[in-house]
A = this chain, B = another copy of it.
């Protein structure tokens, strides 16, 4: 009988966000009258802006005409989009268009870039963190079993992001080969400052580690001392892969388009030989990835037109204002809350040291408000829930009101 990957049963049986959905559905089944307000949602709630829509539709129309339709596209993405990203995002940062790889969602790249590395690589993951960082390495076999006692997978290095370090991860004492960083952070909303990022790049240069830098929320940065790209830090092109997405910056969650930057100076050891990663990721994408649909790439390129930029900035400023509104609202009720300044997420401490699933359940059952329990992002997420600013303003306002009504009972 064929044997399955033995690491599969180390994974929790549900992907974390599915778990939350299940619980919300269970409440609706028990109480069909309940009107649930989703204040945890990581999905955008506003449609595509007019100029981007127009690019999507005209790109689609091209597919019906013999003279303009597109078959297989280059696995790395069309040059028109890579050039647009280069000029729009990386103009003076020493990146070239052929270092940019278009992909169908940051999630996929964050899950799959680990395929480039040896199975015995030592992995460093911040805690809390987006569950995919860890899950992908669990499935690949780079961790030992889950330890109930330690509340973590053994065999990997956990880098805690705690209140006492303002949720900014600090390089560990030991050498990690591969480190997942996310800034602005999902779920804490904290963004790495230039100085902190400098420390990480120095660490990686010293230990010859690779940083997988998840910049999916860079568009939300407002603090002037937080870089938008890790490539603003000198030396980073030798150690960092940056992964970004149009999902949250331009409303692409349903369209699936993202990109990863693999600088050509990024090197690691291949069977004892120092080797550039770039050609191997290209080879991997040629083999396994079939490019992003042409109309979607046209739509993504439109983000960098003057009209696209104006629309996207306006949309972002709404989500940013809502994040402040959420942060201020929670604080005014007496909650200790973080984030919300450089990220769409607010990281809210549970009252009375309640555990995060309990607080999630109280909010769900008593206020019919959906949050995201911090524990789902890792052990250090315990004692927090994540709120998000993507919901409509009236839902955010109503949600805050409902929380206020139960706050005395908690």
Can you name the residue of chain B whose Cβ is closest to the Cβ of A115?
A: B5
Contact flag A5-B290 (CB < 8 Å), given A60-B56, A66-B47: no
Cα A14 to Cα B287 in complex, Å, equals 9
Interchain nearest-CB distance for A232 vs B (Å): 23
Can you name the residue of chain B whose Cβ is closest to the Cβ of A274?
A: B1
Contact flag A132-B288 (CB < 8 Å), given A2-B121, A5-B116: yes
Stretch from A68-76, A185-193, A352-360 contacting the other chain: A68-76
Contact flag A287-B15 (CB < 8 Å), given A47-B66, A56-B60: yes
Can you name the residue of chain B whose Cβ is closest to the Cβ of A75?
A: B15
Kindly identify which residue among B18, B71, B293 contacts A43, using a CB–CB cutoff of 8 Å: B71
Interchain nearest-CB distance for A151 vs B (Å): 20
Can you name the residue of chain B whose Cβ is closest to the Cβ of A17?
A: B286
- Please give, as numbers and ranges, the residues of chain B lying within 8 Å of A177 by CB-CB distance: 2-3
This protein's copies in its complex? 2
B8 & A116 in contact (Cβ 8 Å cutoff): yes
- Please give, as numbers and ranges, the residues of chain B lying within 8 Å of A332 by CB-CB distance: none
Chain A residue total in the interface (Cβ 8 A): 88
Question: Which chain A residues numbered 1 to 36 have a C-beta less than 8 Å away from chain B?
Answer: 1-6, 8-9, 11, 13-15, 17-18
Stretch from A248-256, A302-310, A372-380, A402-410 contacting the other chain: A248-256
Q: Which residues in A have some Cβ–Cβ distance to B below 8 Å?
A: 1-6, 8-9, 11, 13-15, 17-18, 43-50, 53, 56-57, 60-61, 63-66, 68-73, 104-105, 107-108, 111-112, 115-121, 131-132, 135-136, 139, 141, 177-178, 208-210, 253-256, 267-271, 274-275, 277, 279-280, 283-284, 286-296
Q: Which 6 A-B pairs have the closest CB atoms?
A: A53-B64, A105-B290, A1-B208, A15-B286, A47-B69, A3-B118
